[in-house]
Structure 1
Amino acid sequence: MRAHASIDTAWSLLREALSTPASPDTKARLEALDEQLAAFVRASPGALESVMLAGVDELASSWKRLLPWARLDGESSRLAVLLTRTPPGIETRDILLPSGPTLERTLQVMEPLAMLRVFAAARRKHPRILSEYCWRQAFDLAAFFVQRAEPDALDRVPRLLPDERDFLRSLATGEPLADILPDNVHDMTPEEIASALARYRSVTVEELEASLRPGRLSESGFLAPGERLGEVILRDARTLHRLGVRRHELARKLERIHQESLEGTLGPPWRYDSTAYLGHQEDPFHTLDVYEIRQQGAHDFELFHTGLGPETVLRSGDLLFTLIRRACFFEGAVQHRIDPEKAVRVLGLG
């Protein structure tokens, strides 16, 4: 495409590319469209991205049935096609990604921050497209732009939710999800603790606590009826502080024992019995399913210290490792709670 080609022409070509089913008969045309669009983006930095941001609704208005799993009742597959093109270098973990036009050349030259804003606008305005149907491929593509963007780019995309930012950072860098609560949680008030977690989850404290009750996010729940989230966490944080043990140290020890058990290398004084499930328990502090990041939430376990009595056995699930590390959450008076003082004894940390 010539450098002086109009933005209207580029927009038309983009819409054509996203509305053309991939087949041997259309391969040459799709490659030509990709080359033309990439040339326009190089010659006019930011122009097409700005029109895409303004035209998110138009991208979502097509009734083309390009993807067999994207029949969206009025929302379109066109936006899904745009936001599920996975460039080289980003691993796609979802088997739903169809073969088709990748727009590889175009995506490689688009302005990363602008495309992250397009992603965030699409996520807010058309959640079904990026939630039920192809959310993981879309986040993989967004992570590709995070890798190419300035370090503070995610903080400059105001429409992203807090947990979405953390998830994208982890996808892009391979680092663990960041802590939600600070190290000195023992110095906070119950209200500050609950409010911080609710903000992270983008709900009210009341909504968050209701979701943690039995029968909501999990059958056994994370909080017993009548318990308050901030009070439960503060009590356990103060217990750890009194014992001189950091929650990160405790979570790392549990994770190491779990991993050594899976590898068959765990020795005395611990015995660790675990049960694996085909499904997994989602993290209650996320709007997203972040299981892929840490692979925690699919095992229940019993941990014994052979030098202590049977009453000191720890019974829980491996999702607790993440909940402890990120939020000092040992759960309330429910099935999978671990008492932090007992955990310190069994793990030999005290």
Structure 2
Amino acid sequence: MTDVLEVTLRSVSVLAAFLVLPLLVGQAEHKVMAHMQGRLGPMYAGGFHGWAQLVADGVKFVQKEDITPAAADRRVFRFAPAVALVPYLVAMAVIPLSPDLVAADAPASALFVLATTAVGILGTLMAGWASANKYSLLGAMRSAAQLLSYELPLVLAVASVCLAAGSLSLGGIAQAWSPWWLIWQLPGALVFLVAAVAELQRPPFDMPVADAEIVFGAYTEYTGLRFAFFLLAEYAGIVVMSLLFAVLYLGGWQGPFSDQLGWLWTLLKGLVIAVVIIWLRVAWPRLREDQLQHLAWIVLVPLALAQLALTGVWVVVSA
């Protein structure tokens, strides 16, 4: 009974932390972008350095009217934000912060994360189709094309790491990691990072929400809390991809005093990757649609295949 209670409390605490992390990433984006662009970010809400700005934003979204277009498919329209957000929260549950700190220790957790995050695109497709708006539908179609293009290099990059570690478990991969991976898995790491940013539809891969072309894509008709859920899904996606990168390529909890502070190393490494993703939004202009497809199929896929072949040769030779 005690063991069951301990596991339950641990799972609840991990999931609670993961629910807070997307909000922290959103606040970090406000501040990091403000410093990079040489301007003041939100500075007044809550007093010190605008720490409560996200709380104020949440209150603002709650107060806004929830509007459903008259021609929309009302049931699908209202259900789409949850379909976009929940898969990322489910994926967070199997990402280990330390050997003993994981909400759900799945045997093939690497595959589980890839599968669940791919489901999130269904929320965008549902939103675009159900809105009865041509700009929303066009944005949803762009999202689908982008996911299909970048899912393949993402999966190939993760497959290379799983092959090198001899495990499909994120915990097993982190335990098999060594600093040598930073060199010979570097091409795969770059492919993973670029493909992850594209799957999150973050700049410079934000063609599905290009305001100058299609208003705001699949989210054009959304207001209030439903729109906020789509924004929260984006930040939850950043958390998932950042922590996944930290576990796959940076050793997760490995570091000084990892026995006591392992979870902190995972979070710090994930935070660094999240800041890199935010930096890409500030530093790079939006690509054209043809450039997006060219990068995926002409650059990333061959590079990921080469990394996978190199890993296969290394595993056979070292066996």
TM-score (norm 1): 0.26
Q: Which has the higher contact order (CA 8 A, sep 6+)?
A: 2
Greater helix share, 1 or 2?
A: 2
Higher strand proportion (structure 1 or 2): 1
